[in-house]
Structure 1
Amino acid sequence: MATEVPQRKFKTLFLCTANAERSIFAEYLLRKEGGDRFEVYSGGTSPSGIVHPLVLEILKNDYQIDASDARSKSWEEFQGVEFDFVITLCDAAREQTPDWPGQPIIAHWSSRNPVEMTGDAADVRHAFFEVAEEIHRRVQLFVALPFEKLDLLRLEAATHDIGAG
């Protein structure tokens, strides 16, 4: 009886400025949706040092994800790491992203910053939830890509297209 060869994990890094909202959503949503197929990280170009409490609350209550171990950290922690994918979630991070070793696929999936929302507590939570939903849909599309069947150029194009829609 032949044993199944383990599938390679795709090492993925999500970047944003503060690593406090969008990139944390993306990291934990891909961990859940991607299962064992991905090794997922997030970082910030100028980390805030804290994860926004609404991110943790929305992940827990709306997606049943315990992100209590999430932390805001610098992308510099990952210098020298060879990623398969580096995905920026805000324009500032896109402009500041360094060259990564190993020639990863670099894509940009811009989402608005929910922290900039004004209004009452319900309005602000709704803004965070909408950003989480947008990132969740993109993560679902990403996970659904037939990685094993696409050559590098087609995989790069498909990854880019996710952020364009």
Structure 2
Amino acid sequence: MSDKTYNILVLCTGNSARSIMAEALFNTMGRGRFHAFSAGSHPSGAVNPFAVERCEALGYDTTGLRSKSWDEFATPDAPQMDFVITVCDQAAGEVCPIWPGKPITAHWGFEDPAAFAGSDEAKREVFTKVYRQIMTRVSQFVNLPLHVLDRNAIQKEVRAIGDRPAEESNEQR
């Protein structure tokens, strides 16, 4: 078993919901093996309150969560990423910065819960559904035996997670 801590950058366009929830899930479910960050190509400037609600329900400290630009992670003094994962189709299609260290990349598309219009109760349901889908994929990722796989095998596995349907987990949080 490796003692390496892997850095993960989760990207979305607005960095207000999906990428924020993924950051919290990686940092919590990764049990110290992963240090996740999130950012957006065009950050909204605010974290969606329903995303904060989901992260708090996980027991994640939300005091440091903020919507930020991916440019913060493309500077020479930024943490070097091992993985960069896009979670929205729009960010996946954009020209990303060149990430130092040539991280493994993948796209895991999810519906944008922040775009849903409806009552707070209906919004909460959509956020919970997407949160569970993200949780399923993060769970698959954090259980990969990264310490025994070579780079090509890891790349294949991480991309395959995004290719599988993002079904909801039976786990309740």
Common fold: TM-score over 0.5: yes
CA contact (8 A) 1:14 1:23 kept: yes
Q: CA offsets per residue over residues 78-105 of structure 1, 9 Å max, x none?
A: 1144311000001111122222121110
Residue of structure 2 in register with 1:158 after alignment? 157
Taking every aligned residue pair, what percent have the same amino acid on both sides? 39
- Alpha-carbon distance in 2 for matches of 1:32, 1:58: 13
Residue of structure 2 in register with 1:42 after alignment? 38
CA contact (8 A) 2:21 2:54 kept: no
1:75 is aligned to 2:74: no
CA contact (8 A) 2:10 2:87 kept: yes
Task: Within 5 Å, give how 1:50-69 maps onto structure 2.
Answer: 50-61=46-57, 63-69=58-64
CA contact (8 A) 1:90 1:109 kept: yes
RMSD: 1.4
- Alpha-carbon distance in 2 for matches of 1:76, 1:155: 26
More displaced, 88-97 or 145-154?
Answer: 88-97
- Alpha-carbon distance in 1 for matches of 2:8, 2:83: 5
**Structure 1 residue 27: deviation in Å?**
0.4
Structure 2: segments with no counterpart, 5+ residues = 165-173
Task: Within 5 Å, give how 1:22-41 maps onto structure 2.
Answer: 22-41=18-37
| Structure 1 or 2: more helix by fraction | 1
How many residue pairs get aligned? The number is: 160
- Alpha-carbon distance in 2 for matches of 1:15, 1:107: 10
More displaced, 22-31 or 66-75?
Answer: 66-75
Structure 1: segments with no counterpart, 5+ residues = none
Counterpart residue identity of residue 50, structure 1: A
- Alpha-carbon distance in 2 for matches of 1:121, 1:43: 25
CA contact (8 A) 1:47 1:73 kept: yes
- Alpha-carbon distance in 2 for matches of 1:118, 1:53: 14
CA contact (8 A) 1:90 1:112 kept: yes
The structure with the larger Rg is: 1
- Alpha-carbon distance in 1 for matches of 2:8, 2:128: 23
- Alpha-carbon distance in 2 for matches of 1:19, 1:119: 21
TM-score normalised over the length of structure 2:
0.88
CA contact (8 A) 2:41 2:70 kept: yes
Runs of 4+ in 1 over 3 A off after TM superposition: none
1:91 is aligned to 2:122: no
- Alpha-carbon distance in 1 for matches of 2:102, 2:47: 29
**Structure 1 residue 6: deviation in Å?**
7.3
Counterpart residue identity of residue 162, structure 2: G
TM-score normalised over the length of structure 1:
0.92
